[in-house]
Amino acid sequence: MEKLKAEVREKGLKYHIITYGCQMNMHESEKIAGILESIGYMPADSKEDADFILFNTCCVRENAEQKTFGNVGRIKKLKQANKELLVSVCGCMMQQESAAKKLMETFPFVDIVFGTHNLYELPEMILACKSGTGRIYSAPETEELHDDVPQKRAEGPLASVNIMYGCNNFCSYCIVPYVRGRERSRSAEDVISEVSGLVSAGYREVMLLGQNVNSYDGGINFARLLGRICEETDIPRIRFMTSHPKDLSDELIEVVAAYPQICRHIHLPVQSGSSRILQEMNRKYTRETYISLVKKIRRKIPGIAVTTDIIVGFPGETEADFEDTLSLVGELRFDSAFTFVYSPRSGTRAAEMPDQVEEAVQTERIMKLVALQNKITEERNREYEGKTVEVLVEGTSTRNPGHVCGRTSTSKMVNFEGSGALIGSFVNVKITQGKKTTLFGTLAEEET
Ligand code: SAH
Ligand code: SF4
Ligand code: F3S
């Protein structure tokens, strides 16, 4: 290993990571970057400039997989131009043996393929590959936790913290339990000490990550974990995702209500407004219990934003089922929603179900749903006009360099005129305009 480190430093080798998928994957890429930097690699400005290119993949829907194939294919030219270049593909898609084999056959220039459980072994894999072992494929199914790895976090005041890995829910459409394994929670002590460390390092907001944070069990439950983080650390803001509606407890609602540092936002994927489809999806709640849960959350935590995920065109979804989804969306008026066309994933139960919905029907339904939700999102954002909100400034606006942007506790993106010196601080902003994706405003007064 020392020889590898010396070689990496001597040659000034650089890495570039391309990430697909969810926050979990984004955070895992921060760990990969941390590991690569621990053996001497430096960040490259672009993939053209890199000696190690890594794709961290997602397979939750088919288009995520197609994108990966397209983009890995385009690396071939770079590989021909730079003999030193190593190409690696990892993550959820590579945890499926068939997808990994197909990728390796299609792209003989890919050097290292690994799954979701063994990124901590990356230095050994690079070493083996460089010492002439040839191509490496390693995607063990182990469920051990190896999360004591260096992390190179993105710049800015926000940080992600894993509290658990894997998923036990087996929603009938979903590949995640197959590629991420069973639920494993980190101990509360580990999580709390990571958050304390982040506070000392200057981070102002943490996002606690898990596929279903409500089933966290690290000696204490999730509500207690949140309470302890609030009591034992000075982190000004805490977010979490994702919450499964089936086990969001009253205790959790009370904890969120009790601590102002827990953000007024809950992401609560509903998936469908039809109880029949929810049962087919194995979601373990009904339309009615979901609606009363959202109403209870809003009653107990006034001003909280509720966002969701919705799938249209699940096998067997009739026009009436879809109307149920539209009416639920109309009734609950989510702050925003991620909407997806159902994508069959091989190995899942839903992929084998009869009555797969035709593409034309799926397209028509998603367009209707998106139009309805867009209208609601914009109306919800307009409700902010004239109000003053607290914003944690995250960075400069990409469109307007004289402007900065950040989020409210309710997770609304706010854009306003201000200097980059504000990044990392909490400021009050008076909202002048609420648009579909962003609120616009003016700086009211500065807090610290
Ligand atoms: N653990 C989280 C998120 C998992 S993936 C949860 O339970 O909500 C994020 C979203 O992708 C899901 O909420 C779902 O709406 C969507 N999704 C998952 N599998 C899908 C599939 N096969 N086709 C279309 N959308 C899917
Ligand atoms: Fe997938 Fe369901 Fe687990 Fe979420 S809870 S990751 S949708 S199986
Ligand atoms: Fe996330 Fe995609 Fe994997 S959504 S858990 S990166 S399959």
Provide the pLDDT for residue 406.
Answer: 97
Q: Reduce the DSSP state of residue 126 to 3 states and report it.
A: helix
How many residues can be counted in the chain? Answer: 448
What are the structural domain ranges in the chain?
A: 2-138, 388-443
Instruction: Sort residue 434 into left (φ over 0), alpha (ψ -120 to 50) or beta.
Output: beta
Token look-up 């926050």 returns: 23
Ligand 2: distance of its center to the CA of 370 in Å? Answer: 22
Same fold, 2-138 and 388-443: no
DSSP string, 264-300: SEEE---B-S-HHHHHHTT----HHHHHHHHHHHHHH
Return the C-alpha torsion angle 425, 427, 433, 438, nearest 10: 20
Beta strands across the sheet bearing 52-57: 42-43, 14-19, 52-57, 86-91, 112-114, 136-138
Token look-up 């994706």 returns: 437
Return the C-alpha torsion angle 289, 293, 296, 297, nearest 10: 180
CA 114 to chain centre: 20
Provide the pLDDT for residue 391.
Answer: 98
Ligand 1: distance of its center to the CA of 171 in Å? Answer: 9
Which residue out of 22, 60, 169, 248 has the highest number of ligand 2 atoms within 8 Å of its CB and is therefore the one to mutate?
Answer: 169
Judge if the beta carbon of residue 174 lies within 6 A of ligand 1. Answer: yes
Q: What CATH superfamily is the domain 2-138?
A: Methylthiotransferase, N-terminal domain (3.40.50.12160)
Ligand 2: distance of its center to the CA of 317 in Å? Answer: 19
Distances from the Cα of 140 to the Cα of 96, 117, 130, 132, 298, angstroms: 10, 7, 21, 22, 43
Provide the pLDDT for residue 143.
Answer: 75
Q: Which ligand lies nearest the alpha carbon of 350?
A: 1
Judge if the beta carbon of residue 310 lies within 6 A of ligand 2. Answer: no
Nearest by Cα to 240 from 231, 232, 250, 227: 227
Q: Reduce the DSSP state of residue 76 to 3 states and report it.
A: helix
Judge if the beta carbon of residue 60 lies within 6 A of ligand 2. Answer: no
Provide the pLDDT for residue 30.
Answer: 97
Both tokens of 102, joined, read 């197909």
Ligand 3 neighbours, Cβ below 6 Å, are 21-22, 24-25, 58-60, 92, 176, 179-180
- With a CB cutoff of 8 Å and minimum separation 6, the contacts of 251 are 221, 223, 224
Q: What are phi and psi of 106, to 5 degrees?
A: -70, -35
Ligand 1: distance of its center to the CA of 81 in Å? Answer: 39
Q: Which atom of ligand 3 is nearest to the CA of 56?
A: 6
Report, as ranges of residue numbers, the positions in the chain whose pLDDT lies below 70.
445-448
Ligand 3: distance of its center to the CA of 378 in Å? Answer: 28
CATH topology of domain 388-443: OB fold (Dihydrolipoamide Acetyltransferase, E2P) (2.40.50)
Provide the pLDDT for residue 399.
Answer: 85
